[in-house]
Amino acid sequence: MDVASIILIGIGLSFDSLAASLTIGASGNNVTRKHIFRVAGSMAFFQTLTPLLGWLVGNHFKTIAEKYDHIIAIILLASIGGKMIYDGITHKDSENSNYATLPAIMLIGISIATSIDAFVIGITFGILRVNIFTAAVIIGIITFIFSVFGVYFGKKIGTKINDKIDIIGGIVLLGLGLKIFIDHTYF
């Protein structure tokens, strides 16, 4: 597989991270460079790690991974999205919600949920004998760039729609989980 193909795969894998990063940035009140790089670093780390893990697991466990990855993703994204919706409904003051500074466990959960597809891609890379280290680094770099962009521009649009951003963000994360679930269940 050539580098151009890996770049296209990296772009495709990064869209979930982009959507989650937009949501995180839009719901943050005081988004700083530190917050942007924290979110982007987490997204990129897991998007780099999961293809490596998939490659290690190999073809032997492919059917198991494909059987449960969508369930894990929907549980993680529904939990976090549900909390965001709840916070948006119960907190009238938007200053109480700041997902750019969200707890590490929530950021890790979002990062894992948006990178589960990369695990299966890693298994595929193993079958195709792709240089996994090159592929994982390319995917990680693309995800980092997309996530920086997402948090930064999410903050720009968030100030305009701040009153309902937690609800919107929660719906986006629920939608991502549902998309992953439907894609893996029916396609």
Amino acid at 97: S
13 or 149, greater pLDDT = 149
Q: What is the mean pLDDT of residues 48-62?
A: 82
Shortest CA distance to 46 belongs to which of 101, 152, 100, 119?
119
Tokens of 184: 């893996």
CA atoms of 51 and 133, how far apart (whole Å): 9
In the structure, what pLDDT confidence band is assigned to residue 149 with cuts at 50, 70 and 90? Answer: very high
Shortest CA distance to 77 belongs to which of 155, 180, 151?
180
As a whole-number percent, the residues of the chain with pLDDT over 70 amount to: 82
101 or 69, greater pLDDT = 69
CA atoms of 40 and 32, how far apart (whole Å): 12
The predicted-structure confidence for 169-184, as pLDDT tens digits, reads as follows 678 778 877 887 887 7
**pLDDT beyond 80 at 139:** yes
Give the mean pLDDT of the chain: 81
Q: What is the mean pLDDT of residues 153-174?
A: 73
Q: What is the mean pLDDT of residues 83-109?
A: 69
42 or 129, greater pLDDT = 42
**pLDDT beyond 90 at 137:** yes
Tokens of 156: 């720009």
CA atoms of 186 and 42, how far apart (whole Å): 29
Tokens of 25: 């940035």
Confidence at residue 98, expressed as pLDDT on a 0 to 100 scale: 52
In the structure, what pLDDT confidence band is assigned to residue 67 with cuts at 50, 70 and 90? Answer: confident
Residues in the chain: 187
CA end-to-end span of the chain, whole Å? 23
Cα–Cα separations (whole angstroms), residue 95 to 62, 85, 172: 44, 15, 20
Confidence at residue 82, expressed as pLDDT on a 0 to 100 scale: 82
In the structure, what pLDDT confidence band is assigned to residue 161 with cuts at 50, 70 and 90? Answer: low
Confidence at residue 61, expressed as pLDDT on a 0 to 100 scale: 65
CA atoms of 99 and 151, how far apart (whole Å): 10
Place of tokens 């490596």: 52
CA atoms of 139 and 144, how far apart (whole Å): 9
What secondary structure does DSSP assign to 63-79, as a single string?
A: HHHHHHHHHHHHHHHHH
CA atoms of 79 and 7, how far apart (whole Å): 31
Amino acid at 170: G
